[in-house]
């Protein structure tokens, strides 16, 4: 059994790095259109790297094809892959927005799983939602795909395909929201006289400690926020301003915009 990864950008690279912990280089084939990146990928991972599939490099029954190209390139990429894809192989798509029925029509197979990992996949800490139609995969197929997704981090089975768009907006784009917030906190720290290096380390440790505390305590975000917000204290001053400026509404609208964009990509 071989695993083919088509598209080795940010997400594809994160997936490959995680797979390398469990699979031998001979079991992985990377398909990367950019000629200048192929030698670097081979040197980094030791895998076979090709520019496109061919009769000498087919995805056969028992193999897994991971689609990780940009959604805008999905249709053309799938059309080029279709002649070399066995209908008995399993396809795992991590492309935002692209529906299973669209992939089925182009690839001529219904053995398709949609998933949305995030950047944490590169350190085996992804939050991944996934969906598949239960009648198209065998129990062995499901076990194999779920085992692979589990290697990326934690996984959640989604019951309706359209919810993947919300997973894309929340988990897929989530690291960007957190980094944006970290940038704002870090900037204030530096403007207040803390060195850039220390400011970054302090904000990073604050994020880490908060995440670990929430995980270990079982508290909700709201419960912990209220716990650390003493009446008339420093945190209360910050939270009051955020409330006055409707920051909560703006943030929810921003995430909803990401979800809407995922739906647009699928259409």
What pTM value is reported for the model? 0.87
Output the pLDDT for position 177.
97
Output the pLDDT for position 80.
92
Q: Judge contact between 37 and 98, C-beta under 8 A.
A: no
- State pLDDT tens for residues 196-212: 999 999 999 999 999 99
Is residue 169 situated within a structural domain? no
Output the pLDDT for position 35.
76
Is residue 166 situated within a structural domain? no
Q: Judge contact between 47 and 39, C-beta under 8 A.
A: no
Output the pLDDT for position 8.
85
The structure tokens listed for 231 are 């009446």
Q: Are residues 89 and 219 in the same domain?
A: no
Q: How far apart are CA 196 and CA 187, in angstroms?
A: 8
Burial, 21: exposed, middle or buried (Cβ in 10 Å; 0-12, 13-18, 19+)?
exposed
Q: Are residues 155 and 182 in the same domain?
A: no
Is residue 165 situated within a structural domain? no
Is residue 234 situated within a structural domain? yes
Output the pLDDT for position 38.
85
Mind listing the pLDDT tens digit of every residue in the chain (267 residues)? 789 999 888 888 888 888 888 888 888 899 888 777 888 888 888 888 888 888 878 998 889 999 999 888 889 999 999 999 998 999 999 998 899 999 999 999 989 999 999 989 888 899 999 999 878 899 999 999 999 999 999 999 999 999 999 999 999 999 999 999 999 999 999 999 999 999 999 999 999 999 999 999 999 999 999 999 999 999 999 999 999 999 999 999 999 999 999 888 877
Output the pLDDT for position 17.
86
Half-sphere exposure of 35 (CA within 13 A, CB side): 0
Q: Judge contact between 64 and 89, C-beta under 8 A.
A: yes
Tally of structural domains, the chain: 2
Q: Are residues 7 and 139 in the same domain?
A: yes
Q: Are residues 236 and 104 in the same domain?
A: no
Query: Where among 108, 125, 160 does a domain terminate?
Result: 160
Output the pLDDT for position 219.
97
Output the pLDDT for position 25.
86
Output the pLDDT for position 19.
87
Is residue 33 situated within a structural domain? yes
Distance from the Cα of residue 203 to its chain's centroid: 23
Closest to 198 in 3D by CA, of 208, 210, 189, 211: 189
Q: Are residues 43 and 125 in the same domain?
A: yes
Output the pLDDT for position 43.
83
Q: Judge contact between 123 and 21, C-beta under 8 A.
A: no
Q: Are residues 148 and 230 in the same domain?
A: no
Question: Which residue range(s) make up the domain with 219?
Answer: 174-266
Q: How far apart are CA 155 and CA 115, in angstroms?
A: 9
Is residue 80 situated within a structural domain? yes
Q: Are residues 234 and 144 in the same domain?
A: no
Strand ranges (DSSP E) for the chain? Answer: 3-6, 28-31, 48-50, 64-67, 90-93, 112-116, 126-132, 153-157
Q: Are residues 27 and 94 in the same domain?
A: yes
Output the pLDDT for position 50.
87
Output the pLDDT for position 34.
77
- CATH number for 234: 1.10.3730.10
Collapsing DSSP to helix, strand or coil, 96 comes out as: coil
**What are the φ and ψ backbone dihedral angles of 105, each rounded to 5 degrees?**
-65, -40
- CATH number for 109: 3.40.50.720
Q: Are residues 53 and 181 in the same domain?
A: no
Q: Are residues 93 and 133 in the same domain?
A: yes
Output the pLDDT for position 149.
93
Query: Where among 160, 183, 209 does a domain terminate?
Result: 160
Q: Are residues 118 and 186 in the same domain?
A: no
Is residue 113 situated within a structural domain? yes
Output the pLDDT for position 171.
95
> Please, which residues have CB within 8 angstroms of residue 255's CB and are 6 or more apart in sequence?
169, 170, 173, 177
Quick one: CA dihedral 148, 149, 150, 153, positive or negative?
positive
Q: Are residues 190 and 140 in the same domain?
A: no
**What are the φ and ψ backbone dihedral angles of 72, each rounded to 5 degrees?**
-65, -25
Query: Where among 160, 183, 204 does a domain terminate?
Result: 160
């Amino acid at each position: 059994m071989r695993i083919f990864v088509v598209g080795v950008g940010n997400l594809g690279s994160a997936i490959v790095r995680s797979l390398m912990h469990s699979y031998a280089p001979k079991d992985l084939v990377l398909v990367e259109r950019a000629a200048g990146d192929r030698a670097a990928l081979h040197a980094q991972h030791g895998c076979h790297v090709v520019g496109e599939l061919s009769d000498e490099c087919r995805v056969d029954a028992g193999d897994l094809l991971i689609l990780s190209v940009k959604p805008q390139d999905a249709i053309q990429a799938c059309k080029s892959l279709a002649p070399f894809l066995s209908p008995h192989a399993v396809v795992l798509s991590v492309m935002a927005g692209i529906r299973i029925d669209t992939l089925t029509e182009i690839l001529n197979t219904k053995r398709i799983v949609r998933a949305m990992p995030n950047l944490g996949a590169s350190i085996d800490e992804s939050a991944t939602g996934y969906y598949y139609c239960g009648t198209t995969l065998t129990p062995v197929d499901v076990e194999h795909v779920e085992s692979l997704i589990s290697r990326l981090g934690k996984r959640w089975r989604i019951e309706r395909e359209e919810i993947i768009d919300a997973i894309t907006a929340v988990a897929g784009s989530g690291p960007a929201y957190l980094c944006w917030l970290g940038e704002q906190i870090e900037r204030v720290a530096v403007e207040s006289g803390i060195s850039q290096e220390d400011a970054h380390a302090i904000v990073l440790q604050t994020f880490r400690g908060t995440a670990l505390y929430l995980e270990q305590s079982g508290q909700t975000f709201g419960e912990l926020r209220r716990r650390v917000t003493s009446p008339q204290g420093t945190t209360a001053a910050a939270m009051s301003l955020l409330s006055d400026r409707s920051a909560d509404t703006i943030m929810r609208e921003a995430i909803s915009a990401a979800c809407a964009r995922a739906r647009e990509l699928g259409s």
